[in-house]
Structure 1
């Protein structure tokens, strides 16, 4: 990793300076040659070998700019040269070209960012140029005017660079940058450089023995600059990332220069014999000095973070202001007796601003210096800028939208509309049907094959028989269920007959109360079975109606064809009818010709679009713009080529006119076809043979539909009856189970009080016990004469 070597003035611990310098950003080694060669070959379709020297020089420029050397004018020149070349190649390559850059935070060596962004590289290099200017300024002496003038210029340049970096460079980056490149930090650095540039003016004013009133105004502006630095340096989380002690330094300097401004204004008042105001001004200066010294004495952090030179400066100012304040008060009390105004009534000191943010012209306009000694010849001068490739791609998109999605699509829609009209008129099939022998239509053949595969009329007859049998079985199951409930009801009546009202037999639940749900289900299913039967009858009637056609469609194809009238010769033998057909055929031929010509036009349009290469025109436009520009660094924007796009696309305007003409011609032709077709239909409708054939085919088509409907409904009925049978069987079982349970309950009651039961209860015909699984044995038992003195038995004795 290449690290900038930090000069002594770059360290915050430099006790010999009251000024702050900005540290360098450090980076890791990165080479352009391989990734840029690959990019040129893949994206620009140019031989990268042609730019071998440019790639080598670019790598050398980066290595020289990031080498660990002392801070001097040579290092500044190397960084500026690399920055200028970066500015130029950004007009040749996209910012996210395949080169990775890693830069560390200038104020936090553990924090770094890595990304593929030439603007990030440009921002980092420009940051270091600003840092170099700040360090060069800090290295100048504060004891002579020439050094102060140089420092003043360096600080102004640094401030201008940080401002340019924030508003013109960092704003172009689309990646996450380190915090030293944040807007707040760059604003703070700009304000700091302005503070220190204004301090240089103040030093020069003092050395040059400028009037105290003017020195006060210069000092007032220094304090206000530090106010701005404090404000920007305290924003958000910046206070935690700004170098340790900087905010304390800003606050101390602000108090110092507010005191200095009041002190110098007091000296001006003394010279003007304004003794009372002199006292007031010195007292204000004393207040600022006291605030600064109280903070230093109260907060150990201040004495630890502030440089010794700043502490000495504050101490000296305190002593000077204190002694002058004591003198002025004594003199005014003893000699002048001038009223001392309140501090709030004193006129404010108008600041005298001389420091400004001024980036060097070579930074703001590097293109003016390309080809000169400062920056050297521009690299990749012959490479077509990336924006030209973007513009060519954009033009291709616009052209594709116009040609394929507008023009060709419109022509295709015209053709589709024409075909839709012809299909709705059954053309040209209607003419083909009378001009050549025609057998059965495909839909009839497919339907007949389908009917034969399903067994024809006999097959659907079997389905009808199955449905009738299934319906009968459903009725039988319902009858069995209802009979079982009826038998149980009769037995219940016999059990109750003659029973004591207070006996268990009399209190036994009545059958009607217990069988409501079962009888409700029986009624529901009877209604379902009845409706199914009605549906079966409807289907049977339909099958009977169409049975003759079902039988025909189930026959071999030859038999069907024999039964359908055939147009083996043109039936329209009438000369008038022949003219109608010829005219309609002529119109259809014109349609075919129109379609062929339209296809040729579409192919021609595609050929023109494929040969339409805008790249040469874009290069000419780029050269024209370059010739009219004062700098070779041209930041082309796509909107600059909109006029050229419009001019190039105007050549396709004639195709829009062609489409409109095609619309009119097609509409006229289709109107003629509709008129001729109407006459053709009238001629056909009056011919007996065609009417017979049409009727026969119509009957067969309808028969196929009816067969499919009947087959579908009967197959669906088969599934329905299968499911219904299972449900009815379950219902029957539930009824039998209920009947058996009630019968056993009756027997229990009989056993409990058999003397009260009529003799014939166990001889009831159709007793439910005959439906028990052991029905044979139980039937034998129930046929015996019941003896009330014998216990009940449910099987033959062993």
Structure 2
């Protein structure tokens, strides 16, 4: 077997992988990179070894082991943290592609595994039956690598290759694997009818590779000429063997037609092995024609039935030929989804403590203040500084900025969806609805528009609350609350008791915040993950929240205390003499402004949380829409290439 192609290896450059991994571990994990020194050295050594241009079984094993290491690293480190550069040898001129992506690195390594299998297949070509078997499997393994890459192209910003190049490479490898099977059938002396069918399948694989190769960015013109010669050569083989089979059945007229077709195909081929084969067909054809003219006298048909192909190979899944022994790389490094879970549970814990302990306690305090006698100065009431007041105004501006930022992203989402829909509409006008067989945008983007409308509605509500908060802030008598308070504190024992209760509760809210910060779920998650390997911790989190049961009991006690104090304040109010003088008016104005300020502070806090959540949702939808648009773009390119071919 000769005239076989191997796929050249992609080249890369030193990316200082160990240093990059150290930086990522130190910046994204609570663990220190020095703990993983040996494993980082192993990964860096493998990365260096796969850059070696030599091809051997050792190089193949290193590529496979490095690929499996990358699979493990992807479980522990975010995809976009490490930078890699690769060069495509199939392009006439390649400046290289660089991307912060583990998936990009994985697919390039898998490309080189496929390339290595094709090169080792040719190196094994000594004509022996065992060598043919090895070559057949290696070419199928190579096709499987390229098939896997095609299925994961959307995972990279910079595609490893275009779809046409990928499909062309797959069919080249399948054609050569089928060619091994065909040659083995000849060695084993199988019937000509079977050999013809095997050869027809070889030709069809080469024809598919040529069809995609002519439209591909990475398949050179000299390769296309070679593939065209292969198509014609194996068409000739098909009809030559088919002719032999017809001769065995004494169907000499059809045999002559089949041999004539074989001769026509072979004359179009430029393979070096063409000459001997050409002479063989011509000699046999002359002999059969002579015998038919003088002996058999059979009519030569104008056409004969097509030979049915017999596919015997396929692109084998990567899992079938990759080593299956476990790769113990960074096994003690917590995967990123565990850290994401910890972050999410921390946020939920803070929200739980705020919702069920802190906010209710502060509401109890507010209720007490609102029921103090109007002529009594609330305990602990102090004027605020101008700097503090300015900080609230800056926070109002932050809300406005966040609102505007989210509005820009919402407009970007809207624009992407509209542009994608317009392109789809124009493509249908250009190619016709029957030819343009992609699902209409209107049937796919509905779910995105529903989410978008929700986001617009939430943003509108947020802006309305922002405007109300700004109005409240403008009403506040800023000079009054920043000036020294002129009234003495109350001498009422009950009012002083209220002040003590309020101070204790405020201290309790500070303590429970500190308690929540110190009592995180992370240590229990680490223990559970190492014990089970599972990444579902909801039950663990619910059990963890029981730690705050004592604080909820404290809140219940304070509710009872509040009711008692409110009853006493009501009795004192009923027994007191109402005073309406300048001091009372001053106090009422002061308390009103402070109450407005408390409302502003609460709205600012709620607004910050609201926009944080809304921004997260908006970013998520923007990411979904960008992926949708990218997928649709690749689908359009695929359909256009078919329609324009």
Scaled by the length of structure 1, the TM-score of the pair is 0.52
1:143 partner SS: coil
Q: Which residue of 2 aligns with 1:93?
A: 77
Measure the CA separation in 2 of the matches of 1:139 and 1:642: 52
Superposed CA deviations along residues 483-535 of structure 1, whole A, max 9, x for unmatched, are xxxxxxxxxxxxxxxxxxxxxxxxxxxxxxxxxxxxxxxxxxxxxxxxxxxxx
Measure the CA separation in 2 of the matches of 1:652 and 1:694: 51
Asked if the contact 1:151–1:197 (Cα under 8 Å) also holds between the matched residues in 2, the reply is yes
Compared CA separation, residues 409 and 674, structure 1 to 2 (3 A): same
Asked if the contact 2:362–2:506 (Cα under 8 Å) also holds between the matched residues in 1, the reply is no
Superposed CA deviations along residues 237-274 of structure 1, whole A, max 9, x for unmatched, are x2x43223122222222232233223222222221233
Compared CA separation, residues 340 and 414, structure 1 to 2 (3 A): farther
Q: Map of 1:628-707 to 2, 5 A cutoff?
A: 640-641=535-536, 643-644=538-539, 646-648=541-543, 650-651=545-546, 654=549, 672=567, 676=571, 679=574, 684=577
1:335 aligns to 2:295 (yes or no)? yes
Superposed CA deviations along residues 457-489 of structure 1, whole A, max 9, x for unmatched, are xxxxxxxxxxxxxxxxxxxxxxxxxxxxxxxxx
Match of 2:222 among 204, 220, 245: 245
Match of 1:269 among 246, 256, 277: 246
Measure the CA separation in 1 of the matches of 2:120 and 2:584: 104
2:76 partner SS: coil
Superposed CA deviations along residues 113-144 of structure 1, whole A, max 9, x for unmatched, are 23343333333332222211111112233633
Q: Which residue of 2 aligns with 1:468?
A: none
Superposed CA deviations along residues 218-250 of structure 1, whole A, max 9, x for unmatched, are 112112212332333244xx2x43223122222
2:58 partner SS: helix
Q: Which residue of 2 aligns with 1:356?
A: 314
Match of 1:37 among 22, 38, 45: 22
Q: Which residue of 1 aligns with 2:86?
A: 103
Superposed CA deviations along residues 627-652 of structure 1, whole A, max 9, x for unmatched, are xxxxxxxxx8xxx4253565356537
Q: Which residue of 1 aligns with 2:6?
A: 21
Compared CA separation, residues 331 and 380, structure 1 to 2 (3 A): same
Compared CA separation, residues 589 and 284, structure 1 to 2 (3 A): farther
Measure the CA separation in 2 of the matches of 1:84 and 1:695: 81
Superposed CA deviations along residues 121-172 of structure 1, whole A, max 9, x for unmatched, are 333332222211111112233633222112112111211222233435x554
Match of 2:120 among 106, 130, 136: 136
1:311 partner SS: coil
Q: Which residue of 1 aligns with 2:202?
A: 222
Q: Which residue of 1 aligns with 2:527?
A: 620
Compared CA separation, residues 324 and 647, structure 1 to 2 (3 A): farther
Measure the CA separation in 1 of the matches of 2:540 and 2:41: 37
Asked if the contact 2:197–2:238 (Cα under 8 Å) also holds between the matched residues in 1, the reply is yes
Match of 1:54 among 36, 39, 64: 39
Asked if the contact 2:357–2:551 (Cα under 8 Å) also holds between the matched residues in 1, the reply is no
Measure the CA separation in 1 of the matches of 2:23 and 2:558: 51
1:654 Cα offset (Å): 4.9
Asked if the contact 1:145–1:204 (Cα under 8 Å) also holds between the matched residues in 2, the reply is yes
1:20 Cα offset (Å): 0.8
1:193 Cα offset (Å): 0.8
Superposed CA deviations along residues 679-732 of structure 1, whole A, max 9, x for unmatched, are 45xx747xxxx5xx659999xx9xxxxxxxxxxxxxxxxxxxxxxxxxxxxxxx
Q: Which residue of 2 aligns with 1:151?
A: 135
Compared CA separation, residues 398 and 181, structure 1 to 2 (3 A): farther
Measure the CA separation in 2 of the matches of 1:157 and 1:260: 26
Superposed CA deviations along residues 285-334 of structure 1, whole A, max 9, x for unmatched, are 344345x25xxxxxxxxxxxxxxxx5233444444444444444444454
1:428 aligns to 2:428 (yes or no)? no
Asked if the contact 2:373–2:573 (Cα under 8 Å) also holds between the matched residues in 1, the reply is no
1:210 Cα offset (Å): 1.1
Structure with larger Rg: 1
Q: Which residue of 2 aligns with 1:176?
A: 158
Asked if the contact 1:399–1:649 (Cα under 8 Å) also holds between the matched residues in 2, the reply is no
Q: Which residue of 2 aligns with 1:768?
A: none
Q: Which residue of 2 aligns with 1:190?
A: 170
Superposed CA deviations along residues 384-436 of structure 1, whole A, max 9, x for unmatched, are 334433332232233233334x33564266247526743xxxx3333579xxx
Asked if the contact 1:282–1:321 (Cα under 8 Å) also holds between the matched residues in 2, the reply is yes
Measure the CA separation in 2 of the matches of 1:171 and 1:36: 24
Compared CA separation, residues 429 and 157, structure 1 to 2 (3 A): same
Asked if the contact 2:140–2:315 (Cα under 8 Å) also holds between the matched residues in 1, the reply is yes
Compared CA separation, residues 652 and 150, structure 1 to 2 (3 A): same
Measure the CA separation in 1 of the matches of 2:162 and 2:147: 12
1:428 partner SS: coil
Asked if the contact 2:148–2:318 (Cα under 8 Å) also holds between the matched residues in 1, the reply is no
Q: Where do 5+ consecutive residues of structure 2 fail to align?
A: 384-489, 589-645
Superposed CA deviations along residues 173-204 of structure 1, whole A, max 9, x for unmatched, are 4x425xx5444433322221111111111111
1:111 Cα offset (Å): 2.4
Compared CA separation, residues 421 and 227, structure 1 to 2 (3 A): farther
1:368 aligns to 2:325 (yes or no)? yes
Scaled by the length of structure 2, the TM-score of the pair is 0.63
Asked if the contact 1:414–1:663 (Cα under 8 Å) also holds between the matched residues in 2, the reply is no
Superposed CA deviations along residues 651-685 of structure 1, whole A, max 9, x for unmatched, are 378589769958976996798589658845xx747
Compared CA separation, residues 420 and 247, structure 1 to 2 (3 A): farther
Asked if the contact 1:217–1:350 (Cα under 8 Å) also holds between the matched residues in 2, the reply is yes
1:209 Cα offset (Å): 1.6
Measure the CA separation in 1 of the matches of 2:357 and 2:106: 47
1:621 partner SS: helix
Asked if the contact 1:275–1:328 (Cα under 8 Å) also holds between the matched residues in 2, the reply is yes
Measure the CA separation in 2 of the matches of 1:34 and 1:147: 43
1:241 partner SS: coil
1:103 partner SS: strand
1:609 aligns to 2:509 (yes or no)? no
1:281 Cα offset (Å): 3.1
Q: Where do 5+ consecutive residues of structure 1 fail to align?
A: 1-15, 294-309, 371-377, 434-441, 443-569, 571-580, 627-635, 702-798
1:233 aligns to 2:191 (yes or no)? no
Measure the CA separation in 2 of the matches of 1:671 and 1:648: 36
Measure the CA separation in 2 of the matches of 1:282 and 1:140: 33
Q: Which residue of 1 aligns with 2:106?
A: 122
Compared CA separation, residues 362 and 66, structure 1 to 2 (3 A): farther
Compared CA separation, residues 75 and 207, structure 1 to 2 (3 A): same
Q: Cα RMSD (Å) of the superposition?
A: 4.2
**How many residues are matched?**
478
Asked if the contact 1:84–1:363 (Cα under 8 Å) also holds between the matched residues in 2, the reply is no
Asked if the contact 1:263–1:282 (Cα under 8 Å) also holds between the matched residues in 2, the reply is yes
Asked if the contact 1:411–1:598 (Cα under 8 Å) also holds between the matched residues in 2, the reply is no
Compared CA separation, residues 400 and 231, structure 1 to 2 (3 A): farther
